[in-house]
């Protein structure tokens, strides 16, 4: 059985430059490693709370300052937002209406929706106005309203559904000034990570490196007319 080839963003110009926000997480670090290994990529930079520049999703000033600093270095052809949360100090995802509370809903939306929204606002202008570019945000299939058959996970589902709407809306605006830009929401599947660890049970997720490679291949094949869409790591379009 042959080993899959490492991903290379052939659709971007030779010497393209890439950013990964949330590069310390399992999937984010895998994205960064793949991009840094792509011989066509001149520079791949990871951003997070402890990088320089730093990006803290709870602090809009850090998002704005990082974007401004990186914009001064020129255009960035590939921007991936890989940060997110499924559970935290407030508890595991709510299974019932009676478990909903402000603290957990606010924390989930701050990380999964509000933070990425500000990343879109400050980082989309870093894409080149001429030529092809990619901006991807990690979403989740459970954020699909049309695909929701099991219920539960209220805050997480809602935060990802709202994120999908932000990506769709941003894609319409960005297309006016960046006609070749592709903005999409991506579903990574179940991945071995701290995020999914409490829910895997006997079913172990895929390595983060495999998920990131699959999503880079999906991105590489998308065209401008696909901007504002929602895709799984397999390349399957997902319903809103």
DSSP 17-80: EEEEETTTSHHHHHHHHHHHH-TTEEEEEEESTTSSS---TT-HHHHHHHHHHHHTT---SEEE
Q: What is the pLDDT of residues 160-174, one digit of tens each?
A: 999 999 999 999 999
Integer Rg of the chain from CA = 17
Find, among 229, 222, 57, the residue nearest to 144 by Cα.
229
pLDDT of residue 142: 95
Winning range, highest mean pLDDT, from 2-16, 61-75, 191-205: 61-75
Distance between terminal CA atoms of the chain? 36
pLDDT of residue 85: 82
Q: Tell me the mean pLDDT in the region 109-133.
A: 97
pLDDT of residue 88: 67
Give phi and psi for 194, each to the nearest 5. Answer: -65, -30
pLDDT of residue 202: 42
- The answer, yes or no, to whether residue 95 has pLDDT greater than 80, is yes
Find, among 162, 177, 173, 169, the residue nearest to 114 by Cα.
162
pLDDT of residue 143: 96
Q: What is the pLDDT of residues 146-155, one digit of tens each?
A: 999 999 999 9
pTM, to two decimals: 0.92
- The answer, yes or no, to whether residue 195 has pLDDT greater than 60, is no
Share of the chain above pLDDT 70, in %: 92
Strands 78-81 and 16-21, bridge-based pairing: parallel
pLDDT of residue 133: 98
Question: Do residues 99 and 156 lie in contact, with contact meaning Cβ atoms separated by under 8 Å?
Answer: no
Q: Tell me the mean pLDDT in the region 180-207.
A: 76
Q: What is the pLDDT of residues 20-71, one digit of tens each?
A: 999 999 999 999 999 999 999 999 999 999 999 999 999 999 999 999 999 9
- The answer, yes or no, to whether residue 199 has pLDDT greater than 90, is no
- The answer, yes or no, to whether residue 191 has pLDDT greater than 80, is yes
162 in helix, strand or coil? helix
CA torsion sign, 139 to 141 to 146 to 149? negative
Domains of the chain with bracketed CATH:
16-232 (3.40.50.720)
pLDDT of residue 1: 42
């Amino acid at each position: 059985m042959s080993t899959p080839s490492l991903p290379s963003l052939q659709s971007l110009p030779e010497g393209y430059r890439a950013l990964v926000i949330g590069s310390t997480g399992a999937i984010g670090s895998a994205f960064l490693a793949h991009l840094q290994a792509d011989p066509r990529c001149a520079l791949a930079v990871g951003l997070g709370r402890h990088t320089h520049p730093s990006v803290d999703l709870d602090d809009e000033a850090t998002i704005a300052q990082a974007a401004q600093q990186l914009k001064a270095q020129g255009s960035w052809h590939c921007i991936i937002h890989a940060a997110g949360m499924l559970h935290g100090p407030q508890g595991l995802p709510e299974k019932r209406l009676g478990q909903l509370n402000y603290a957990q809903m606010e924390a989930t939306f701050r990380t999964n929706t509000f933070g990425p929204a500000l990343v879109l606002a400050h980082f989309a202008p870093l894409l080149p106005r001429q030529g092809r570019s990619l901006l991807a945000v990690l979403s989740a299939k459970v954020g699909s309203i049309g695909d929701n058959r099991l219920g539960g996970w209220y805050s997480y589902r809602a935060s990802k559904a709202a994120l999908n709407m932000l990506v769709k809306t941003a894609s319409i605006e960005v297309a006016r000034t960046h006609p070749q830009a592709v903005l999409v929401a991506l579903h990574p599947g179940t991945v071995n990570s701290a995020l999914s660890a409490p829910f895997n049970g006997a079913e172990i997720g895929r390595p983060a490196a495999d998920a990131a490679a699959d999503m880079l291949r999906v991105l590489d094949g998308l065209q401008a007319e696909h901007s504002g869409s929602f895709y799984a790591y397999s390349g399957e379009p997902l319903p809103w």
